[in-house]
Chain A
Amino acid sequence: MSHDTMDLTLHVWRQKSSKDSGGFVTYVEEARGISEHMSFLEMLDVVNEKLIEKNEDPIAFDHDCREGICGMCGLMINGIAHGPDQTTTCQLHMRVFKEQGITDITIEPWRAKAFPVIKDLVVDRNAFEMIIQAGGYISVSTGSAPDANSLPIPKENADKAMDGASCIGCGACVAACPNASAMLFTSAKIGHLGLLPQGQVERDDRVLRMVNKMDEVGFGGCTNIGECSAVCPKEIGLEFIARMNRDLIRASLAKGDSKKP
């Protein structure tokens, strides 16, 4: 293990508040001597320490667990959601840039109508909450459950459900999509619950309510581009979108709803 360092040029989106227009600021001096072993967020920590030293406002960005599971972090890095390694921003390490000979890095917040910028690189993802609140659950109150093993579930279905359930709600799929669509996010939850016997009772209602909410809060439609899945740190596949579309048609017919698939 060596401590090879890199000198970077960062172009960072700075925006004082949701009401300001914002713009790129270039940092060179603050981004010198970056160790290749740093994570991307540690690199930003170092830049921020230098900014504070110079009495300048540090760059605001969301982050929490820094181990790739909480879904709080997320940046557009050189135009790619979470950067070039198909992982979360916190798990992206600077050696990836070193290996690819990249020293110029542009950092932006997620860009989507439904994710307004709050400050600098921080966005408001409350629209995701509203989609889950519209039906992303099984209506079972505490205490009313039967014995856990009273309901066998084929391993294949449980595993497939787990693939969808592994979504961390980071929003990279929306940020990567030219239509800012939330189809992958929404379908991952619908697929997770719809693949399990517990989720059948509310299956039709769920898909109608969640898809309606998704449209209502300002996400775009899906045009099968696949960027969402290509950047998804949990590698959730497009088949979840296909499955959701099938469920939507089924539910629309069953419920006589005029919702377009």
Chain B
Amino acid sequence: MAVETKDKVGVRRTTEYTAVTLESQVPAGPIEKRWDEHRFKMKLVNPANKRKYTVIVVGSGLAGGAAAATMGELGYNVKCFCYQDSPRRAHSIAAQGGINAAKNYRNDGDSIYRLFYDTVKGGDFRSRESNVYRLAQVSVDIIDQCVAQGVPFAREYGGLLDNRSFGGAQVSRTFYARGQTGQQLLLGAYQSLSRQIAAGKVEMHTRSEMIDLIVIDGQARGIVTRDMLTGKIESHLADAVVLGTGGYGNVFYLSTNAKGCNTTAIWRAHRRGAFFANPCFTQIHPTCIPAAGDYQSKLTLMSESLRNDGRIWVPRKQGDKRRASEIPEGERDYYLEERYPSFGNLVPRDVASRNAKYVCDEGRGVGDTGLGVYLDFADAIKRLGKQAIFERYGNLFDMYARITGEDPYEVPMRIYPAIHYTMGGLWVDYNLMSTIPGLFVIGEANFSDHGANRLGASALMQGLADGYFILPYTIGNYLAQAKLPKVSTDHPACREVEVEVETRMKRLLSINGKRSVDSFHRELGDIMWNNCGMSRNEAGLKQALKRIPEIRSEFWENVRVLGKNEELNQSLEKASRVADFMELAELLCLDALERRESCGGHFREESQIDGEAKRDDENFSYAAAWEYSGNVSRPNLHKEPLIFEYVIPSQRSYK
């Protein structure tokens, strides 16, 4: 079908793509054998022919970095792009806790099946069973690979790998490297990538941002980038394009994401025909350091292991401004312990987050802003001694003290939930290919494995599974079969997209309004957080859906971006990203409005039992895949039904 658009905010475009139906490509047969049989059935590219193919990888985090390195090793020509000055800086680096793998080194009853089961259940039955099973299967290979690369995982005195239990799992299957697991896994991938760069198999483009996707004859054939140092807008062509560009949590402005994390790559791909699935599935982390003032630029997460020993409370009285130490025991409300006697302070992330919001909404929040609850270690220090607490949480306590200027050994920590991860993303089939042939999406950027909620230590697992062990196979299957006529950068499609990008940059620079990009981003973030954050309702979402297009129009009339395109221009970079967040925000709210059930990270106030989330399998057991219609405000919804043959859906209860 031909789609022509001329909506108010975007640039005009004409794209040809074929009407798509959602084919998940999930193999049949017993779940344990599906991936093996699928691998056998997939077409291979002859080793001597691999060098004839070029693959573009956007993003250099765990997914993108691992994929680029592995495809380089296989013999493909890879072009890898990242917006940072080095591939080593991708935001995967900030993951603290660990990586899950069904190694069963503890002999505590873990297995591939159990990891699969936990992940499907943890995702609140909104993920694809076959994908999750495969994830659990390859998890064991990831650990082997990383150890061989020299990732210094924590070890026991006997020299073997240490494990811990994480995020409420009943088995110890989490591998870790101090509180810097993400950093070490990323450096492993980065080092492998550096080896391929040195070998000439990967051409690395740093400080280079993908601004749009090139689709020729219905196939993804390249990207248009902006060189962030010179402003040069350029087409890069390939036989397939892989997006490993991470999540879109910064649509909320304040999140635990890096400042540069953005949605542009997946959003522009969406506008070119890739369906966007379950955008409303966003994860909120309960133990972040609260915002201190209007100038706050990002939020910092602290490991949720803190809840093992800290007790969460707020004053019983509204507006109680006394210091924590002056509030007697009887006037403290240990609300999680009271409401959830069996799980107490260890209720899942979403439950802990929502309850913090409720007590703050009641005017019982603590700190200057009233948006915080206490996480108190006084009892634990009394019981175990300061030394024991130091040994368990020393680095977290230091980090907290540095940021807030308060000593958590003396006064209770203040915490508040923050956006942390996005389970939604571009829709992909079992081969990790989007609805645009030749466009693959891996890691947090796709929607595939976590359903409505991601378990702790599973993000690293998925990024590396996709990058090392899944995509390199499935992309070969595509390349071996696709008809890929030779194209060059003087193809009219390239020039057309380049002109659109140039026009967009010129337009942003020529508005010369009164408000900074950040002020718009903050305003958008406020709306998203208040109306589509921890808890959502119809009235709030409708209000957001009214406000977002208004801010978006104001943005395009009143934003002030100084300087020019042909230089390092950080305001222009931000403006281009925020423009895309403004569009994604609307889709996110539409999806949240459409999903009139509570599940995982998505809590609809209209759908609850006794104050707890009520999932509605009868009506909503599907992945919502949104197609861009040419009008940002009126996307088309497609549904991929989710079928559970192995893990039978049940309702969660933590009381």
Query: Cβ of A93: which chain B residues have Cβ within 8 Å of it?
Result: 402-403, 405
Q: In the complex, which residues of chain B have a beta carbon less than 8 angstroms from the beta carbon of A67?
A: 94, 256, 298, 300-301
Q: Does B270 contact A (CB under 8 A)?
A: no
Question: Are A64 and B562 CB-contacts (below 8 A) given A133-B197, A138-B148?
Answer: no
Q: Which residues of A contact B155 (CB under 8 A)?
A: 152-155, 158-159
Which residues of chain A are near B293, meaning CB under 8 Å?
3, 35, 37-38
Which residues in window 143-189 of B have CB below 8 A to A?
143-150, 152-161, 177-178, 180, 183-184, 187
Partner among B86, B178, B571 whose Cβ is within 8 Å of the Cβ of A169: B86
**A142 and B198 contacting across the interface, CB-CB below 8 Å:** no
Chain A residues whose CB sits within 8 angstroms of the CB of B198 once the complex forms:
133-134
Which label, helix, strand, loop or mixed, suits the secondary structure of the A interface?
loop
In the complex, chain B residues whose CB is within 8 Å of the CB of A238: none
Q: By the criterion CB–CB under 8 Å, are A138 and B157 in contact?
A: no
A12 to chain B, nearest CB (A): 15
Q: List the B residue with the shortest CB-CB distance to A45.
A: B297
Once the chains bind, are A3 and B368 in contact (CB under 8 Å)?
Answer: yes
Cβ of B371 < 8 Å from any Cβ of A?
Answer: no
Contact A149/B160 with A62-B85, A122-B568, A196-B152 known, Cβ cut-off 8 Å: yes
Number of B residues whose C-beta is below 8 Å from A?
82
Structural contact, A158 and B405, CB atoms closer than 8 A: no
Residue of A nearest to B147 (CB): A148
State in angstroms the CA–CA spacing of A168 and B90 once bound together.
Answer: 12
B143 CB contacts on chain A under 8 angstroms = 148
Chain B residue numbers with a CB within 8 Å of A65 are 89, 91, 93-94, 258-259
Q: Mark B399-418, 1 if CB is under 8 A from A, else 0.
A: 10011111000000000000
Which of B160, B256, B570 lies in contact with A58, CB distance below 8 A?
B570
Known interface pairs A71-B89, A142-B469; A152-B160 also in contact (CB < 8 Å): yes
B84 is an interface residue with CB less than 8 A from chain A: yes
B388 within 8 A of A: no
Among B476-517, those with CB < 8 Å from A are 516
- Annotate A145-176 by CB proximity to B: 1 below 8 A, 0 otherwise: 11111011111001101100110110000000
* Choice from A3, A46, A72, A168 contacting B85 with Cβ under 8 Å: A72
B560 beta carbon closer than 8 Å to chain A = yes
State whether B145 touches A145 (Cβ < 8 A). yes
Q: A57-B562, A133-B197, A149-B105 are in contact. Are A138 and B568 (CB under 8 A)?
A: no
Q: Does B40 contact A (CB under 8 A)?
A: no
Q: Contact at B94–A70, with CB atoms within 8 Å?
A: yes
Bound-state CA distance A119–B188 (Å) is 31
Choose one: B190, B295, B368, B404; the contact of A45 (CB below 8 Å): B295
State whether A70 touches B295 (Cβ < 8 A). no
Complex Cα distance, B644 from A116, in Å, reads 57
Per-residue 0/1 for B116-160: is the Cβ within 8 Å of any A Cβ (1 yes, 0 no)?
000000000000000000000000010111111110111111111
Contacting residues of chain B (58-86) with chain A, CB-CB under 8 angstroms: 66, 69-70, 73, 84-86
Question: Cβ of A9 < 8 Å from any Cβ of B?
Answer: no
CB < 8 Å neighbour of B91 from A70, A128, A158, A166: A70
In angstroms, Cα B147 to Cα A161, docked, is 13
A206 to chain B, nearest CB (A): 11
Whether B229 lies near A118 (C-beta < 8 A) is yes
Judge whether A14 is part of the interface by a CB distance below 8 angstroms. Answer: no
Indicate if the CB atoms of B472 and A142 lie closer than 8 Å. yes
Chain A: interface size category: 35 or more
C-alpha gap A57/B88 in the complex (Å): 29
Docked complex Cα distance between A244 and B300 (Å): 35
A199 at the interface (CB under 8 A from B): yes
Give CA–CA (A65, B246) in the complex, Å.
13
B567 touches which of A1, A17, A162 (Cβ 8 Å): A17
Chain A, residue nearest B162 (CB): A155
Partner of A147, one of B144, B229, B259: B144
**Does A103 sit at the interface, judged by CB under 8 A?**
no
- Contact residues in B for A71 (Cβ distance below 8 Å): 86, 88-89
Q: How far is the CB of A219 from chain B (nearest CB, A)?
A: 16
Contact with A along B92-116 (1 / 0, CB 8 A): 0110000000010100000000000
Q: Given A46-B295, A142-B73, are A166 and B183 also a contact pair (CB < 8 Å)? A: yes
Nearest CB in chain B to that of A64: its residue? B258
Q: Which residues of chain B come closer than 8 Å to A144, judged between CB atoms?
A: 148
Give Cα A133–Cα B192 distance, bound, in whole angstroms: 9
User: B94 touching A142 by the CB < 8 A rule?
Assistant: no
B10 at the interface (CB under 8 A from A): no
Which residue of the partner chain A has the closest CB to B197?
A133
159-198 of chain A: CB within 8 A of chain B: 159, 161-162, 165-166, 168-169, 192-193, 196, 198
- Of all chain A residues, which has the CB nearest B406? A1
Determine if A229 is an interface residue (Cβ-Cβ < 8 Å).
no
Q: Is B367 an interface residue (CB 8 A)?
A: yes
List residues 353-406 of chain B with CB under 8 A from any CB of chain A. 367-368, 399, 402-406
**Interface flag for B51 (CB, 8 Å):** no
* Bound complex: CA A23 to CA B93 (Å): 34
Q: How far is the CB of A138 from chain B (nearest CB, A)?
A: 5
Given contacts A133-B198, A137-B149, contact A57 B89 (CB under 8 A): no
The 10 closest A-B pairs by CB, nearest first: A152-B159, A145-B148, A137-B191, A145-B144, A162-B152, A133-B198, A148-B147, A65-B258, A141-B73, A64-B258
23 A-B contact pairs sorted by A residue (CB < 8 Å)? A37-B292, A37-B293, A38-B292, A52-B562, A58-B562, A58-B570, A63-B259, A64-B260, A67-B94, A67-B256, A70-B91, A71-B89, A122-B568, A132-B191, A138-B148, A140-B192, A142-B66, A142-B145, A143-B469, A146-B148, A149-B161, A158-B155, A166-B178
Q: A63-B259, A91-B399, A148-B144 are in contact. List 6 more A-B contacts (CB 8 A).
A: A3-B293, A38-B293, A65-B93, A118-B229, A125-B86, A165-B184
